[in-house]
A and B are shown apart, each in its own frame.
Chain A
């Protein structure tokens, strides 16, 4: 499949110096669809490249969005810290909020809508109560949705703050309970490291990578797939500067039983975004998987969901991965009725997740 213009530019930003206006137009559109427009803006700024005026305005517009979200995120995290300060546990941030607090490159130009935190399962009720007292409320009153989240998934239903309308997702694991291979959340919490000059904690670097990989390769909807892959690419490039990172990552994947998501993460980050990964690591991460089939699916679904990046098989690939994700999350006796219910609710406009 042809490499999208956006991927080419991310690998070699100076290419844009040769671009005509229609190419700039397409680049902006692919980046916007993939939700990486602000990130692209940061990349072009960092390379001090000249940009035509119209394109520059679109990039700037996206950067304004991202900047505002960063300020709002910082404020939101302080509000969450305040709300949970009396609970005897470390406040462990996940995903985007973690990258932001830890100052990872993955956070630059990124817009994070929700805050995700990881708490010990035994503290769930206390956390939910403390957040509710501080003004967060559950959106979900439907008993089925409540059951979906609490009993089967790895989180309580998303909470939304009444005044600020911001959301927080409280996880007690990084994968659903119903998944065949669910990692031991305590191991993740024990490995967490404190962010200097803050009351927040983040997962260890290899755990941050594994969480990102696990999340992406159990995912059903890939509209943000390219962006999430780029997060992985950023994390791997940044952490690889530590000598012991690769061996730690491989060992940890075995310990948390996430070898398959790691294999996919390394394979597709390397193939699509040319993440520099030692050949020995790629070899060591290999699993007994039908790569012909999975390549056909992921090498399509992980590109921006834009007409210029899709081919005639892309829709099918995305649909198959959607079914796959539910099959991974829940056994078939739960999956079939769940998918039927989801389809019905989508048709009547009440779908939540």
Chain B
């Protein structure tokens, strides 16, 4: 994953209730329940392609009282997990 990589979500439908996001993957037909931070990220990515820097900035807004390295680590795990789920593609 380079600094120049951009990310976007595959075709999904999002619904949110309080602290939960429910995501429907229109390609695979899978339904996922996500925590509020992952949900916000993936829904933002379904609307526009975002660079790593933009994602980090968004995470910093969502996650308060967390260090920079924890945010980097969270983003790394998020990208890995959602690419594996087929919900995220990198360009």
Q: Kindly list 5 other residue pairs between chains A and B, CB separation below 8 angstroms, not including A68-B29, A71-B26, A71-B27.
A: A71-B29, A72-B29, A74-B27, A75-B27, A75-B28
B24 to chain A, nearest CB (A): 12
Chain A residues with Cβ below 8 Å from B27 are 71, 74-75
> How does the 8 Å CB contact mask read for A43-81 relative to B, with 1 for contact and 0 for none?
000000000000000000000000010011011000000
Residues of A close to B26: CB separation below 8 A? 71
Cα–Cα distance between A68 and B28 once the two chains are bound (Å): 10
Docked complex Cα distance between A71 and B27 (Å): 6
B22-36 contact mask (Cβ, 8 Å, vs A): 1 or 0: 000011110000000
| 8 residue pairs A–B, Cβ–Cβ below 8 Å | A68-B29, A71-B26, A71-B27, A71-B29, A72-B29, A74-B27, A75-B27, A75-B28
Mark A residues whose CB is within 8 Å of B. 68, 71-72, 74-75
- How would you classify the secondary structure of chain A's contact residues: helix, strand, loop or mixed? helix
Minimal beta-carbon separation of A78 from chain B (angstroms): 8
Chain B residues contacting A75 (CB-CB under 8 Å) are: 27-28
> A312 to B26, alpha carbons, bound, how many Å?
48
Chain B residues near A74 (CB, 8 Å)?
27
Name which residue of chain A comes closest to B26, CB basis.
Answer: A71
A75–B11 alpha-carbon span in the complex (Å): 12
A56 to B14, CA, bound (A): 31
The distance from the CB of B91 to the nearest CB of chain A, in whole angstroms, is: 16
B window 16-73: CB within 8 A of A: 26-29
Report how far A332 CA is from B19 CA in the complex, Å: 69
Output the nearest chain B residue to A74 by Cβ-Cβ distance: B27
Q: Which residue of B lies closest to A78 (CB)?
A: B27
Nearest A residue to B25 by beta-carbon distance? A75
In order of increasing CB-CB distance, the 8 nearest A-B pairs are: A75-B27, A75-B28, A71-B27, A72-B29, A71-B26, A74-B27, A71-B29, A68-B29
Nearest CB in chain B: distance from A163 CB, A: 10
The distance from the CB of A230 to the nearest CB of chain B, in whole angstroms, is 28
- C-alpha spacing A72/B26, complex, angstroms: 9
